[in-house]
Each structure stands twice: as C-alpha cells, then as structure tokens.
Amino acid sequence: MPVDLLDEAQRALETTLPERGDDYRLGYHLSPPAGWMNDPNGLVYFRGEYHVFYQHHPYSPQWGPMYWGHARSADLVHWEHLPIALAPGDAYDRDGCFSGSAVVEGDTLYLIYTGHRWLGEPGNDEHGMHQVQCLASSTDGITFTKHGVVIEAAPHPDIMHFRDPKVWQCGDHWRMALGARQGDDPQLLLYRSQDLRQWECLGRALEGRRQPDGYMWECPDLFELEGRDVLLFSPQGLEPDGYERWNLFQNSYLLGRLGENACFVAETELREIDHGHDFYAAQTLLAPDGRRLLWAWMDMWQSPMPSQAHHWCGALSLPRELSRDGDRLRMRPARELTALRQSRQALAIGTLEAQSRRLEVRGALLELELELELTGSTAERFGLALRCSDDERERTLLYFDAMARRLVLDRQHSGAGVSGVRSVPIAPGQARIALRIFLDRSSIEVFVDDGAYTLSSRIYPRPDSQGVSAFAVNGRGVFGEGTAWSLADLKL
C-alpha cells in the first residue's frame, strides 16, 4: 500500500477537525474524529489492549471508498484514535477496503478484509462488482502491510456479492465465515486454512431464499456461547412482520449447531438482537477473561444523519456482554462502563396519578436505573420523557403501554430529522420492568430486564434539551426507587 494514501487521508482528517461541529458529538461512544463511520471491523485484543477498527471515509461525512479507521483502549472506556489502518488503492481493493475481522497469531496482528472493485459506474450494482478476500499484518498494531488477495473468487460464478470475512481459530486451523448472494438468495460460506493465506472452501454452511430470508446476509459472525453455536448476521431484504423488522435492514441471530460437515443447523427462529431504530453490523470478540463482547454500528442506512452538516457521521454502540438465556441472547452493558459514573442522584418518583412531573435530574450524558411497577399501576401509559426541552416540545419517550403490553421507545419529537416508534413485548403477569438507560448527546440505549431486550436509537435534540420528566396517562403509574448518574464526557 502506498504510504502516501494513508498520510493523505490522515491529513484530510486533521484539516477537517477545526471545522467539526460538536452539538451532537457523543461524549463516551466511539465515533470518527471526522468523516464517515459505519460497520465495526476487526475487533481484537492485542498486547494488552482492545482494538476496534471500523469502516471509514475520511474525506467526507458521506459513505465513500472505504478505509479502516482504528482506535484502541485498555479498559473499554477510554479510547485513543490511532492512524488509519487501511486505505483502498491497490488493484484488488481500489474502490474500498470493506468489512472483515482481525486475529492474532504469535506476535502478529492480522486483518482479513474484502477488497472491492466496481466494474462499471461506482455505486451501481447493475454494472457489476468484483469482491475478493485480502490479508494485511502488523507487528506493532499500528502500521499494516498488505499481503494481497488470499481468496480470489467465489465458489460459483453467479456470486457477485461475496464479503465480510469473519475469521477465528478452531483447533489447529483457522475458519472463515463469509456472506454471499447468488442471484437473489443469501448464503453463508465456510472456509478453512492452516496459515491464513491458503483457504479451502468447505461449502455452504447455510442457504436461504429471497422470501422469507432476504437477499443478502452481511457481516456474519459465528461463535460458541455457553454450549450453543450462535450465527449473528445482518440480513437485507426482510419485510416488516407485526412489531418486528421495521428498520431498513436488521441485525439478527440464530442458535444452532455447526456440524462436522460444515453445515449450520438452526435450532431457533430468527430473532432481532436489538429492537431500536439504529443497530446494524454487530460483531463480537472473545475477551481474555472469556466474555463475548459485542459492538454494532449505531446508525441505519437511509436514516436521517444531521451530524453530516457538522463534518462527521456515525457511531458505535457501547460494548456489551453477551450471554445466553435458553434459546435467546441477553446483552448487558460491559461492566467496565460503571467507571463513567460521576455524580449520583436518587430518583424518588413514587406514584403519579394522571399527571407529569419534571424531575430534578438533568443532563445530556446520563445513566438511569429504575423499575416500572406494573402491579398496582392502572395507567394506559406511564414512563419517562428524556432529553426534554423546557417547553417539552422536544422529548424522547420511554413508557409502558398497558393496552399493547409493550415497552415503547418513541422518538417522534426527539430532535432534528428523526421519527418513529419501536417496542418490545412485556410478558403477561410480569410484575415490573427493570430499566437501565444510557443517554449521550445524540443517542439512547435502553437495557430492559437485565438485557433480555435492548433498544438502541440515535436522537438529535438541541444541546439545551436536558430535562427528565415522569408521566402517567389516564390512571396511576407506580415507579420503583431509581438512581441517576451523570457520566463522564470523554470527547471520544
């Protein structure tokens, strides 16, 4: 890779930084210094630090030829932006270094990624594309050397979309899962290698059909979790179904078994892993202590992105710990995130009878913990209004809807550009809903009942919309004791 391409991209970032607007700038979520960010790539632990790479366009806040941005942290809280790791420009990746993964062998960090070339007009799939799988390496975790193409062609000539390699060690060899599309049907391909350079195709681990499975499975991740194999991926082309699948694309998972014949046998139905407006391309890493950690792109294609006017766009979710609860996955905030907590304040709301009450807590960067007591509550709806303006015309609502028996995240009045409602079910007979809420300048992440469900969405309120209210509509709402913390502004 010509070094000047990386230097040029880094200079572009540094030139843009003085012009960057920070009204929506996240205080403790990882986002690009400037320019565009999407999928997390190459999550890895190397020489005592966590490394997160991500799809990045340093020249503008719009999607463009993809680079790999790079950050690292010793504690999952404080992140250091490092120089851009990969730049497109070689014959095999001239139009983009697309998503992939990272592994460590010995003292070397390897990146495995998709090299992308348009065969006609850039951005036009109808004119075709060529995608190959590529390798790069580093001994210091900062400067990377490209080694070129390691998988030149898909196993069938009708496969044009062929990307997002996830590589992991399995015994004495490496395995790779790849998303592919043959015609309008999605596939999961599986490969094997002894040295990360020569790869043998083991075949189709899983096949789908345009209906009901979508047309492409992006960003696959295949791993074992508490005795079951998990296939985490991002299907494109699914239709909305009841309360589910209302985003343009989804982030979903299956539990099952990866057999000796390299076939994945699903044992559960397809489920969304997060039920908010903005969550895509989730990837995981295995931490040194055995935890399975997950990050996702906390945005969605074709969604409003007001920060583009401020010369940056995109963010990653908070790191989450994955566990299994029977046939479902549970996501909790990484335990290290308690280090963000600063001043503490009790939330003593009690009972509200068909009224709204402004609370004393206020802020753009907050963590809230409280319970909604369903036993004894008669309100049609009750919950919280967050990031409220003084006149409460701007607000993000989180409440229990008794008639639908769902917890609802409503961002109809959440600020610039955004709208829409998302929700998760509350089981009949459930006595209370436990909530843990993280607010940042332009995001909300809600963990429901110890991570049984999560809702992650971008919001874009004005900087001075920092109020919090509790409310109950047409009846009595009972709130359990709660706590609020202001959170550190790390200006990541």
Residues annotated as catalytic (active site), given as ranges: 39
Positive or negative: CA dihedral 306, 310, 313, 319: negative
Q: What is the dihedral of CA 222, 265, 451, 337, to 10 degrees?
A: -10
Say whether the peptide bond before residue 186 is cis (omega within 30 degrees of 0).
Answer: no
d(CA 9, CA 83): 9
Spatial distance between the Cα atoms of 282 and 429, rounded to a whole number of angstroms: 32
In a 13 Å sphere around the CA of 366, the CA atoms on its Cβ side amount to 23
- Backbone φ and ψ for 38, nearest 5 degrees, come out as -135, -125
Three-state secondary structure call for residue 122: coil
Smallest Cα–Cα separation from 422: which of 250, 254, 258?
A: 250
Instruction: Give the Cα-Cα-Cα angle 314, 109, 317 (nearest 5 degrees).
Output: 25
Q: How far apart, in whole angstroms, are the C-alpha atoms of residue 91 and residue 115?
A: 9
- Whole-angstrom Cα distance, residue 191 to residue 349? 56
Provide the total of helices (H) and of strands (E) in the chain, helices listed first: 2, 36
Hey, which residues does 436 pair with through a beta bridge? 369, 447
Per the structure block, which two tokens stand in for 311?
């010369």
Q: Which residues contact 303 (CB under 8 A, 6 or more apart)?
A: 248, 277, 278, 418, 458
Token representation of residue 125: 């799939």
Please state, as a whole number, how many other Cβ atoms lie within 10 Å of the Cβ of residue 206.
23
* CB of 74 closer than 8 Å to CB of 49: yes
